[in-house]
Amino acid sequence: MSGTFIAANWKMYKNRAEAEAFFRAWRLLPAPRGREIAFFPPFTLLGVVKELLPSGQALGGQNLHEAAEGAFTGEVSAPMLSDAGCSYVLVGHSERRHVFGESDNRVAKKFSASMNGGLRPVLCVGEKLDEREAGRTLEVVLGQLASALGLLPPAQGFDVAYEPVWAIGTGKVAKASDASEVHLAIIEWLKKRGAGKEARVLYGGSVKPDNAAELLAADGVQGVLVGGASLEPTSFHKIATAGM
């Protein structure tokens, strides 16, 4: 994979009419060149967004179950997401880990299930505020990576999103230099393990039009995962074209 990766995580926002309005405006804005764009809408909008996406832009799920199919009421599998037109899926987003109690073990199962199901996972990792304050950021982040990747480097492609938990949805953004330190550590860790040669490491957590250029220019930052600021077309477009 090449090119800076700009991803929109819509979380549990938007209905059909709002998604249609978003793409009416989005399609009028010039496509950001040399950047890969992906949208992660709620499951109910995957089919709608698939139809409205400009060509070359990608679709992803926000979560998946580790089984391919089964009696798991309320869950969605990797083959189902593929079938709906997804090429990506978020795995281990901090809201999954910390609001819905997904363990490292569960995240590891989802990570491999997503690749077995033909998707490219974006593995989300990040420390909580008390862990950062205790100087444990790299230990936590690299521990989450090690647990998800297991013993063998995955055969298929994946990306990583570094999202400090204290920065998500709070308006508090990591300093570019702090993000860089963690990104470079992740890149180095992957290199040593011979894993993820093509993995891009994205930054997430309160990315906005006014901080995106600085973050995207930081050493080791190869894209951004945007929540709140991706819900509005002009704001997401400013981020998608920041620093160009």
Positions marked catalytic: 93, 163
Query: Per CB under 6 A, which region of 28-36, 52-60, 134-142, 198-206 contacts ligand PGA?
Result: 198-206
Q: Is 148 in the site for ligand PGA (CB under 6 A)?
A: no
In this structure, the number of other CB atoms found within 10 A of the CB of residue 68 comes to 12
Report the residue from 91, 225, 239, 242 that binds ligand PGA according to the rule CB under 6 A. 225
Report the residue from 204, 209, 223, 233 that binds ligand PGA according to the rule CB under 6 A. 204
Q: Is 205 in the site for ligand PGA (CB under 6 A)?
A: yes
- CA nearest neighbour of 209 among 231, 242, 232, 169: 242
- Is the Cβ of residue 159 or residue 191 nearer to ligand PGA in the bound state? 159
CB of 191 to ligand PGA, least distance (A): 25
Residue 172 and residue 211 in contact, taking contact as beta carbons nearer than 8 Å: no
Q: Is 60 in the site for ligand PGA (CB under 6 A)?
A: no
- Is the Cβ of residue 116 or residue 238 nearer to ligand PGA in the bound state? 238
User: Phi and psi of 221, rounded to 5°?
Assistant: -90, 115
CA 55, CA 68: separation in Å to the nearest integer?
28
User: In which region does residue 220 sit, left (phi positive, over 0), alpha (psi from -120 to 50) or beta (all else)?
Assistant: left
Could you tell me which residues are beta bridge partners of residue 89?
A: 61, 121
- Is the Cβ of residue 9 or residue 57 nearer to ligand PGA in the bound state? 9
Query: Per CB under 6 A, which region of 52-60, 126-134, 163-171, 212-220 contacts ligand PGA?
Result: 163-171
CB of 68 to ligand PGA, least distance (A): 26
Q: Quote the DSSP letter at residue 172.
A: -
Q: Is 207 in the site for ligand PGA (CB under 6 A)?
A: yes
- Is the Cβ of residue 8 or residue 78 nearer to ligand PGA in the bound state? 8
Q: List Cα–Cα distances, 206 to 21, 107, 157, in angstroms.
A: 23, 23, 26
Q: Is 163 in the site for ligand PGA (CB under 6 A)?
A: yes
Query: Per CB under 6 A, which region of 58-66, 69-77, 106-114, 162-170 contacts ligand PGA?
Result: 162-170
Query: Looking up tokens 């050493």, which residue turns up?
Result: 219
- 79 Cβ partners below 8 Å, 6+ apart? 68, 69, 117, 118
Under the rule (CB under 6 A), what is the footprint of ligand PGA?
9, 163, 168-169, 204-207, 225-229
